[in-house]
Chains A and B, each alone.
Chain A
């Protein structure tokens, strides 16, 4: 409420909308229902994008930068664990670190080994 009241157009909120939180599906834990409409009702300008698409990410951030008079919110639809097949969309990987062979498998999927 403060952001819209104060016309903070120099503020951009980005929501990493990966649909999972520690206890499960966000909609089941406590649904915020239609997040975009809810933010708009609070006076924000809202963009909804694919949070893994570079053109959409940069396009929305640049539009938000140019937008005047209202704070901006970017709802970025993402995949929890993105980039590692056995982690993607699995709530178990919210707060669990990979071990031994899991690290190797993940790094193999992500290309060459990390430096150094």
Chain B
């Protein structure tokens, strides 16, 4: 079903906000991965603002859809999307890569609500997503799993 003009406008505005966050965050941190964060922005915005069944107030809701950011170095894009979606305050984005911050250079599922898997070691994310999807099948649940990979990441043997 085609998107309405209003839906496109809504997604485009969210994507613009996320891209601004990516620049501001990595600029403040003095390090990070802007290139692959900016390329993945529209995909993550569509997932979190239109496609995925999630509730930011209940990040551990058992029936939520899951996203594994296999290309974990694009963490700034994920963090910005999660903050815009309401998982945590937008102000916290500026703590990216600081000592003690929940927003590490690569996503840490033990620290930040909304992060489904700790990633960054390329090739592992799709395997993690496989396990989650199989778990849903075994439990007879209807939640879905998404994995976002880099194209360079598909060189990893573990992907296959």
| Cβ B137 vs Cβ A10 within 8 A | yes
| Cβ A82 vs Cβ B23 within 8 A | no
| Cβ B130 vs Cβ A3 within 8 A | yes
State A58–B35 Cα separation when bound (angstroms): 23
**Quick one: which of B31-54 are within 8 Å of A by CB?**
31-36, 38-43, 46-47, 50-51
| Chain A residues whose C-beta falls within 8 Å of the C-beta of B42 in the assembled complex | 51-52, 54, 57, 78, 82
Size band of the interface chain A makes with B: 35 or more
State A20–B11 Cα separation when bound (angstroms): 25
| Cβ A32 vs Cβ B29 within 8 A | no
| Chain A residues whose C-beta falls within 8 Å of the C-beta of B152 in the assembled complex | 20-22, 26, 29
| Cβ A87 vs Cβ B38 within 8 A | yes
State A67–B126 Cα separation when bound (angstroms): 19
Among A29, A95, A103, the residue within 8 A (CB) of B32 is A95
Report the nearest B residue to A105, measured CB to CB.
B23
| Cβ A15 vs Cβ B24 within 8 A | no
**Residue B102 interfacial (CB < 8 Å):** no
| Chain B residues whose C-beta falls within 8 Å of the C-beta of A99 in the assembled complex | 27, 30
Among B27, B33, B143, the residue within 8 A (CB) of A95 is B33
Residues of B within 8 A of A (CB): 1-3, 7-8, 11-12, 15-17, 19-21, 23-24, 26-27, 29-36, 38-43, 46-47, 50-51, 71, 73-74, 90-91, 126-127, 129-130, 133-134, 136-137, 142-152, 154-155, 160
Residues of A within 8 A of B (CB): 1-3, 6, 8, 10-22, 26, 29-30, 32, 35, 42, 51-52, 54-55, 57-59, 61-62, 65, 71, 76, 78-84, 87, 90-91, 93-100, 102-103, 106-107, 110-111, 113-116
